[in-house]
Amino acid sequence: MSKVAIFASGAGSNADRILHFLNENQSSVKVALIVTNKKEAGIYQVAENHQLPIFYFSNQDFLEATPVLQFLQEQKIEWIVLAGFLRKIELPIVSAFENKVFNIHPSLLPKYGGKGMYGKKVHEAVIANGDRESGISIHLVNSEFDKGEIILQAKCIVEKGQTVEELVENIQKLEHEFFPKTLVQYINEIK
């Protein structure tokens, strides 16, 4: 069994899809708990729906990293999945979980990555630049924001005149389709 913690800051739709996927496929990959840096967010409802414990840590805790790292080690977590987690993962955690932290980013990295580039801001930039395609990147996390090894990218077309909301919808479809199965496949190959 591979013990996973999901980190999330928002609505939690990716976390929800991962949890459904693992259940439906009776996977040996097991999400033990959820970690968040928000006191209110959709992810709390996702945790409740899946009867999973959810733990709050402040942004300061994430910056210091040790409180979070100690907790993960006590809980015997082996893998971390960032599913819409909007803080940088600091070096102590990246080093302790080398090549064991996944992130999903809503663009074709290296385009539109880095500090301050998350969620809607990414899609606004894609549309403002007149790009004709966008997509998702599933990657390992290293000490540089959005620069770890890419495991999978999937693309969608950006139509002329498409709104940010329409692009978000297309990107989330890709995320929900590819993130759960890519994680499981990768973890099963490595362990």
Place of tokens 């959709």: 42
Beta strands in 94-167 (DSSP E): 101-105, 133-140, 150-157
Binding ligand GAR (rule: CB under 6 A), the pick from 13, 75, 142, 162 is 13
Least Å from the CB of residue 76 to ligand GAR: 25
Residues 87-126, interacting with ligand GAR (CB under 6 A) = 104-106, 118-119
CA distances from 68 to 23, 77, 88, 146 (A): 27, 11, 13, 20
DSSP 143-158: SSTT-SPEEEEEEEE-
Q: Which among 8-16, 50-58, 125-133, 147-155 is the span making contact with ligand GAR, rule CB under 6 A?
A: 8-16
Q: Pattern of binders to ligand GAR over 151-190, x per CB under 6 A?
A: ---------------------x--x---------------
> d(Cα 95, Cα 111) in Å, to the nearest integer?
25
Q: Which parts of this chain interact with ligand GAR (CB under 6 A)?
A: 8, 10-14, 83-84, 104-106, 118-119, 172, 175
